[in-house]
Amino acid sequence: MKHFSWLITLPITLAVVVFAVSNRTPVEIDLFPLPWQPVLPAYLLVLASLFFGFLIGGTIAWLAGVPQRRRARRLSIEADLLSRELAEARRKPAATPAEAAGLPAATPTATAIASAPRV
């Protein structure tokens, strides 16, 4: 993978250097409401425009992903909570059917009285 990145990076770098060397002609930029009229090489103007466009596009893409990242974070927290609850439920002994129904648990005395022969 490291060599593959060099195969991509090297030609792009070479193209940028050739572009910069061949476009050194000074260009005057008129920034209308401002009093300045800077004179810059053409390659600097083009490369700076591409760089700022890249930054603006990256910022827009990052901001567009905020709802998905927020939802993923919320679901991750919920999954962790449910995982802890499941682990806790597995550690506890299983409830009797009466406890599961919400009835009071049978005590040994009540069981003995209920099973005693009736006279």
Summarize pLDDT for 39-87 with one digit per residue, the tens.
999 999 999 999 999 999 999 999 999 999 999 999 999 999 999 999 9
SS3 label, residue 27: strand
Of 1 and 70, which is predicted with more confidence?
70
| Rounded-to-integer distance, Cα 119 and Cα 116, Å | 9
pLDDT at residue 109 greater than cutoff 90: no
pLDDT in the model for residue 114: 58
Q: What is the per-residue pLDDT across 17-47, written as a single tens digit (0 to 9) for each? A: 999 999 999 999 998 999 999 999 999 999 9
Q: How confident is the model at residue 98 (pLDDT cuts 50, 70, 90)?
A: low
**What pLDDT was estimated at residue 4?**
87
In this structure, are residues 43 and 34 in contact, taking their beta carbons and an 8 Å threshold?
no
Q: Report whether 47 contacts 16 (CB < 8 A).
A: yes
Give the residue extent of every domain in the chain: 7-92
CA dist 73 and 36 (Å) reads 48
Q: Which residues of 96-105 are buried (b: 16+ CB within 10 A; e: fewer)?
A: eeeeeeeeee
Structure-token match 């009093």, residue found:
35
pLDDT of the residue at 18: 95
Q: Take residue 47 and report the two structure tokens written for it.
A: 């490369």
Q: Has residue 102 got a pLDDT over 90?
A: no
